[in-house]
Every structure is written in structure tokens, then in C-alpha cells.
A = this chain, B = another copy of it.
Amino acid sequence: MVATKGYAVQSATTPAAPFAYEHREPGEKDVLIDIRFCGICHSDIHQARNEWGNSMYPMVPGHEIVGTVARVGSKVKKFKVGDIAAVGCMVDSCRECASCKAGEEQYCDRGETLWTYNGRDKQGNLTFGGYGDHIVVDEAFVVSVPKNLDPAAAAPLLCAGITTYSPLKHWGAGPGKKIGVVGLGGLGHMALKFSHAFGAKTVQFTTSANKVEDAKKLGADEVILTKDPDWHVKHEGTFDFILDCVSAPHDVTPYMALLKRDSTMCTVGIPESPIQLPAFAVAAGRKSFSGSAIGGINETQEMLDFCGEHNIVSDIEMTSFDKVNEAWERVIKGDVKYRFVLDLKTL
């Protein structure tokens, strides 16, 4: 077994605190990674506090993981010791269903997507994530980080990056398209960078006047302040796709009116309370409201390669394990530009 130390929460109401645990001994297809950096995702907090109602404890959060390959099993082909490797939100799936075979392991038809933490593997063991110094993962669910990228700033690509890259690609963001990004936080700032890099005319929606300049620097061609009266009127029917990165409950109806006929608004913010969707908002123009969850493993590698080619990383603030609970509170308040990353050296 691989002795590991990290930070865990022991219940929905206790803070993250030091914790010693074990990963399995690497099998012939496994990669042992010495974790160097792990991003802090809002879903770490949701799950630590059992806000989705499915939490298992002890929980070692973290699914934006970058590290150095320390050991490989005898049949590992993609990695060798010393490589920079990364792990995102999942570490296994059934690998046999139509979705898995289509490279959409996150939508495994059998519901066997094994999450990097707060999951239980086929042997019945809890999975433990990136808030710890090691992880052991089947190479099929490990991806490579281009050498030109700062590994700390690359860590959030494994969740915030792929979560925004995948729907933008799926719904055709590119030259000649007008794309909206709702919310400028961890997800939104990556969506802006990708949409801009794909060559789409990219419009940021924000409630915060103080984010306008930032949005423009990050790639927005236009910024629309949604606190202005009638902010939406002159933009109605002009958008090809809108990616909604806001996790707080909010009114989607005016955004639906901004879409062209047959176009889609997609949530990746995943608010806790149901979205209120007037039937007329979809029927008038045959519009769709959709959602998306991360992306498949091959697409995650494609995204990382794209980031390597275009020098795209996350805008991060480094933090340390002694401040992780404080960082979580700041994430809840939206007080970070735009993603916290834990340095495993601070453990």
C-alpha cells in the first residue's frame, strides 16, 4: 500500500484537517503520482459539506491534480517515471457501454463513472483525491501535461478547463459564432479564454462592474453588465450559444431570449435549486436548455494539448494547506481571481 498524507473532512460539519491514509499498491496498469499541485473547486466544498446529499467520509477532496510520475506498473505504456501527469474528476468507468466507448466516460450509461474522490471503487474502497501527496490511478484515466505550461496554473484545467472546453466545442464555438459566457469566476474565466482562442466573438455577462476590464483582458470582445435596466433587449436573438457558469440561482429567461432560433444555453454552474424555465422561452425559437459535465478522457488530453499550443492556463492564486478552510470561505464569496491552487509542498 502507498502511505499518503493529506487533508480530509471527517463529516459534513468539520473543517478540513490533516489525515493519514493509503492508496492501493500500483497494479500493472497503474501510475503512482507524486502530487505537486491541486486546484480548489467549488464542488470540493459542496461535497465536503454534503450539499449534494451523497457524501462519504472521510473525504480527501481535490480533482484538479498535477504531479510527477513516481512509479509505473509493468504494462503502463503512456507514462514513464518523471513525466508530468494529471488527473481530473474521474479515475475509472465501466469502459464497455456506448458512452464509455464514445469517449464520454463521464456519462457512463451504467452509472459506473468512478469519481476521483467521494467515490467507491469495485473493491469497495473509498477514493481519495488531490488534497494529498500521492494518488494511484489506472493510466487510462491519467493525462499528460504539456511541458511548456506552468504545472500549478495547469491544475485547474483538469476541472474548470475541461468543463468549459467541452461544451464550447460540442456546440460549435468558433469563427463566425457569437458566444455568451455568464459569470466570471473559476469556470467563466476559462470559458472566456477558450471561446476567444476558438475564434468566436465572445461576450461576457457579469453583474460586477469591477470585472469589466478583467473580462476584456481575458478575451471578451464585449462585456454586458446585467444589472443595467433592459440590458438584454438590444441583444435578443443574436447569440449562437450561451455557457452559463453561475452556480447561484438566477433567472435564465432573459438569456434564452438572447439566443438565435435553434440555439442552446448550457449550464455548467449547476445551481442547487431547479432552474425555472418558462415553456415559452424554449418554444419561441425552438431553443434548448442543456447541461454538460466535464469531458471525456480523450477530450481532456485534447484540451491540454490545445492549451499547450495556445499557452492557456488558469489565472490562479497559490495557497497552502494551513489556509485551506479560509480559501474555501473565499471561494464561496467569489473572492479569488480565479482559482486557488494548493501547493503540496505546504502539506
Contact = CB atoms under 8 A, between A and B. Distances in A.
Interface in A268-289: 268-271, 274-289
Copies of this protein in the complex: 2
A261 B109 contact: yes
A55 interface: no
A207 interface: no
B290 A289 contact: yes
Contact of A275 (B99, B104, B270, B278): B278
A107 interface: yes
Contacts of A237: 109
Contact of A285 (B107, B282, B283): B107
A290 B280 contact: no
B276 A276 contact: yes
A107 B287 CA distance: 11
A38 B194 CA distance: 53
A292 B170 CA distance: 22
Nearest to A261: B107
Nearest to A102: B261
A279 B283 contact: no
Contacts of A47: none
A266 to B, nearest CB: 8
Contact of A283 (B270, B277, B278, B281): B270
A271 B283 CA distance: 11
A283 B167 CA distance: 11
A236 to B, nearest CB: 9
A260 B107 CA distance: 10
A319 B246 CA distance: 52
A291 B279 contact: yes
A293 interface: yes
Interface in A248-279: 260-261, 264, 266-271, 274-279
B293 A290 contact: no
A286 B292 CA distance: 5
Interface of A: 98-99, 104, 107, 109, 167, 170, 237, 260-261, 264, 266-271, 274-293
7 contacts: A104-B286, A267-B282, A270-B283, A274-B279, A280-B291, A283-B293, A289-B290
Given A274-B276, A277-B289, A284-B291, 16 more contacts: A98-B261, A99-B285, A104-B261, A104-B286, A267-B283, A268-B283, A270-B280, A274-B278, A275-B279, A276-B276, A276-B277, A277-B277, A281-B291, A286-B290, A286-B291, A289-B289
